Structure 1
Amino acid sequence: MGSAAITMVERATPRNLRDRELAVRLTFVAKDPNSNPTNSPTLYRTDRGSWLVQGFVVTDPDALAEMDIPEGESVVEIPDRMIQFFTEEGRGVAG
């Protein structure tokens, strides 16, 4: 699963992904080890210095009312234990 893949990302608005090209190379980083059988949340790095986060869509109206979410964006929730994978050390990358 550690190999990169070419994926198409749909552009929702001109601000989305800073109006970059649609093709992006993804590198799998980690799946939540405690989320069997769904294997979600999941983290991916892109070849353009950004992250894609698969998580649980936030639908709580009170939580969403506290955030200023622009059109074309959404909010996902991931557990604290996934934060470790955002660092090179947490991904097992030698520095």
Structure 2
Amino acid sequence: MCTAFLFWKGSALDPAVTGSGASNTTGVHRRVGARMLRKLSGDPECRNGTCPTLWGTEDAKDYVVQGYVITDPERLAQLDLPEGETAVVVPAAVLEEYFRAQR
């Protein structure tokens, strides 16, 4: 199951800034703090509704990526992430679907 969100540290989507994490709602929208997210693209192979997804903020200034959290220490070391950030893996099809729709 995929439940992680990638938040940009210090942005309006950072749980430390909004004071809360993401909470699920039904449909193609989710609320992060006081902000709504709009589903832009999802994993076409998804069968259970909780799969990697690309979300956009209501003001279209940020993206939120829902994916599988990278836990492998070697992979994380390659990324050299600062404290408070994490990385997730999403199938290429999630991003390809979004960019194809933008043409």
For structure 2, which runs of at least 5 residues remain unmatched after alignment?
1-6, 19-33
2:56 pairs with one of 45, 50, 70:
45
Does the aligned pair in 2 maintain the 1:33–1:39 contact within 8 Å?
Answer: no
State the match for 1:80 in structure 2: 92
Select the structure with the greater relative contact order (CA < 8 A; seq sep ≥ 6): 2
Q: RMSD of the TM alignment (CA)? A: 2.9
Moved over 6 A (4+): 18-21
TM-score (norm 1): 0.65
- 1:29 corresponding residue in structure 2: 40
TM-score by length of 2: 0.61
Aligned length: 79
Quick one: distance in 1 between partners of 2:89 and 2:13?
25
1:54 corresponds in structure 2 to 66
Q: What stretches of structure 1 of length at least 5 have no aligned partner?
A: 1-10
